[in-house]
Amino acid sequence: MRKGEVTRQHIIEEAAALFNRRGYAGCALREIMEATGLEKGGIYRHFNSKEEIAAEAFDYAWGQAFAVRTRGMDEIDDAVDKLRRHVANFTEKTGFPGGCPVLNTSTDADDGNPVLRERVRGAVKRWRAMIVGIVEQGQAAGSVRETFDPQEVATRIIGALEGAVMLARIERNQAVLHSTHALLDSWLLSEVRASGKVRRG
Amino acid sequence: MRKGEVTRQHIIEEAAALFNRRGYAGCALREIMEATGLEKGGIYRHFNSKEEIAAEAFDYAWGQAFAVRTRGMDEIDDAVDKLRRHVANFTEKTGFPGGCPVLNTSTDADDGNPVLRERVRGAVKRWRAMIVGIVEQGQAAGSVRETFDPQEVATRIIGALEGAVMLARIERNQAVLHSTHALLDSWLLSEVRASGKVRRG
Ligand SMILES: [Mg+2]
Ligand SMILES: [Mg+2]
């Protein structure tokens, strides 16, 4: 990486930790200056606006969180086991400091900041598509019940996980994540997984 | 209501609509002045700080949303039907403009603003207690399966509903709310409700 790229990445990483905890409006440029040790001019040499910093910071934070939450899935063949690993990763590991970047940034940007909102929409779209793809692959292979709408499986998983993160953080209670894990896992095993009888593939 | 109280309530209501959409840091006092038609001094005659306005605004917004979401529940005797009404209210009606005040304010305040965070914690605590109370009442009456932990039923319902609101708002897709409604409703009917066989009351 060239020196300019190193500095740009440094700004993105420091800003991501601030924005994910405090929101777009809650994080002043001055705080990014303090965290990076750079002057205003040193920051705006790399970005056109605070909005651009926040958008890049979101992509970075979500990239980090998504990597943690998809870890090990590629090595698993079975669709239901892939989804179980995803749920386990999400509920057992910290994706990024300050809570889920999608949860934080979507509630922050859904009524404003169109640039940031589009970044979050894109992230959710890709996340949903990943789950839908796994469900479809499982249905093609006969390991996932055909009665399930892949989009609805994605809605159930993403909704339950994000709602659980919200509750765990405001209640300061990790038990919410464990019980959400247990509930989704037993649903995946007992309902989503095709049993011998319902297998039609 | 005395004139001072009318003005105070007017400020709370206007501020609630702004804070719920834009967050604590995202809403400047100037905007509350514009929305209420009051000068700074006219606002701070009724409140000690922006924090106090935001805390009262949250209580107001959540009070409005909770009233919509609990509508009609008192007239229903059966515990499972009470919970079904709650889920239907939540997914079919708009609780408050800008999305769920608990979702917005908890992600906004969970890493800062201790006053606001305590208000949200209190709201979640009472919401959870309401669901737990209904489940316990149902278990005592034999209409809810005893195998269910009332706290986990509350986690599942609140988590699924809040996650669905997040998705519906960022994806701009109401179908997410409908499918979450259908999923929770069928779970309440087919699993939470005690069937004749498992009834042990
Ligand atoms: Mg919002
Ligand atoms: Mg937060």
Residue B38: inside a domain? no
Nearest-Cα residue of chain A relative to residue B98? A111
Domain assignment present for residue A181? The answer is: yes
Q: Which residue, chain included where needed, has tokens 């069937």?
A: B195
Q: Judge whether A29 lies within some domain.
A: no
Contact (Cβ atoms closer than 8 angstroms) between residue B164 and residue A159: yes
CB contact under 8 A, B99 and A111: yes
Q: What CA–CA distance (Å, rounded) separates A81 from B154? A: 27
DSSP of A125-142: HHHHHHHHHHHHHHHHHT
Question: Radius of gyration of chain B from Cα atoms?
Answer: 19
What phi and psi values does residue B144 have, to the nearest 5 degrees? -120, 135
Pick from A111, A199, A183: which is nearest to B104 by CA?
A111
ipTM over 0.90: yes
B82 lies in some domain: yes
Query: Is A156 domain-assigned?
Result: yes
**In the predicted model, what is the mean pLDDT of chain A?**
94
How far, in Å, CA of B181 to CA of B9, rounded? 34
Nearest ligand to residue B169 Cα: 1
* Residue A136: inside a domain: yes
Q: How many CB pairs under 8 A join A and B?
A: 142
Q: b/e for A41-53, b at 16 or more Cβ within 10 A? A: eebeebbeebeeb
Taking CB atoms within 8 Å and a gap of at least 24, the contacts of A41-50 are A42/A7, A43/A11, A45/A4, A46/A4, A46/A7, A46/A8, A46/A11, A47/A8, A47/A11, A50/A24
> What one-character DSSP code corresponds to residue A1?
-
Note whether B25 and A25 are within 8 A (CB).
Answer: yes
Cβ-nearest to A111 among B98, B102, B117: B98
B167:A158 CB<8 A:
yes
**Residue B100 bridge partners (DSSP):** none
pLDDT tens by residue, B99-148? 999 999 999 998 888 999 999 999 999 999 999 999 999 999 999 999 99
**pLDDT tier for residue A196 given thresholds of 50, 70 and 90:** low
Is position A46 within any domain? Answer: no
Q: Is the pLDDT confidence value at A1 over 80?
A: no
Compare all CA atoms of chain B with the CA of A120 and give the residue at the minimum distance. B170
Q: What is the span of the domain harbouring residue A111?
A: 51-192
| pLDDT score of A112 more than 90 | no
In a domain, A3, yes or no: no
> For residue B150, how far is its CA from the centre of ligand 1 (angstroms)?
30
Q: Please report which helix (H) or strand (E) contains residue A73, including its range.
A: none
pLDDT at A31 over 60: yes
Residue B138's domain is classified under what CATH number? 1.10.357.10
Number of domains comprising chain A:
1
pLDDT band (50, 70, 90) for residue B24:
very high
CB contact under 8 A, B99 and A117: no
